[in-house]
Amino acid sequence: MLKRATLKETQELAHEVSLQVNDGNIILLNGEMGSGKTQFVRFLCSSLKVKDRVSSPSFIIMNKYETSEGLEIFHFDFYRLTDIRDLEEIGLFEILESKKGLVIVEWGNMFKSLFVKEKNIIDIYFNFIEDNINLREISIQR
C-alpha cells in the first residue's frame, strides 16, 4: 500500500494498522527525521487505547506502554544506537523470543539483520513530499 497522507489520513492509516496487530507483531518504521514515525506511533497507541504518554525513546532506546486490554508495547528508536549489544541489556532479544507484546522500532532498518528470522513484520516507510509540509508518502508492506 502506498499513499499520500495528510495528518488526518496518517491517523486513519495508524488506526487500520491498530486493528491488525497483537502479541508477536513487529512494526519497523523508516524515514528521515521529522517524516512522521513518532507521530504514527502516537496515533497507533491512541487507537490501541494506550494511556501512557508516547514519546520518542531516542536517548533511552526503548519506551514501554500498555493498552487498556493489557497488550504490552515496546517502542524502540535505533537512531542513537551504535552497538547492538546494548539491546541485550535493554531486553530486545528476550522480547522477540517471548513473542509477547507489540514491538515498534523507529529507524528499524538501521539494524534490519536483527529481524531477518522474524515473521509478522510490518514495514512502514515515510517520505516527505516536495512543496507540501503537511503531506507524507506512506508505504505499508507486510
**Contact residues for ligand ADP (CB under 6 A)?**
5-7, 10, 31, 33-39, 56, 106, 134-136
Count CA atoms closer than 13 A to 66's CA, side-chain side: 4
Cβ at position 39, least distance to Mg ion in Å = 8
By beta-carbon proximity to ligand ADP, the closer residue of 10 and 25 is 10
Q: Which residue is nearest to ligand ADP (CB)?
A: 36
- 82 close to 52: Cβ distance less than 8 angstroms: no
Amino acid at 68: S
Binding at 101: pick from Mg ion, ligand ADP, none (beta carbon under 5-8 Å per type): none
- 14 close to 43: Cβ distance less than 8 angstroms: yes
Task: Output the CA torsion sign for 11, 14, 18, 19.
Answer: positive
By beta-carbon proximity to ligand ADP, the closer residue of 5 and 102 is 5
Query: How many C-beta atoms lie closer than 10 Å to residue 15's C-beta?
Result: 14
By beta-carbon proximity to ligand ADP, the closer residue of 19 and 33 is 33
By beta-carbon proximity to ligand ADP, the closer residue of 62 and 136 is 136
Cβ at position 117, least distance to ligand ADP in Å = 26
Binding at 71: pick from ligand ADP, Mg ion, none (beta carbon under 5-8 Å per type): none
Binding at 135: pick from ligand ADP, Mg ion, none (beta carbon under 5-8 Å per type): ligand ADP
* 68 φ, ψ (degrees, to nearest 5): -65, -20
Q: Measuring CA to CA, which residue among 61, 63, 59, 86 is closest to residue 74? A: 63
Interface residues with Mg ion (CB under 5 A)?
37-38, 56, 106
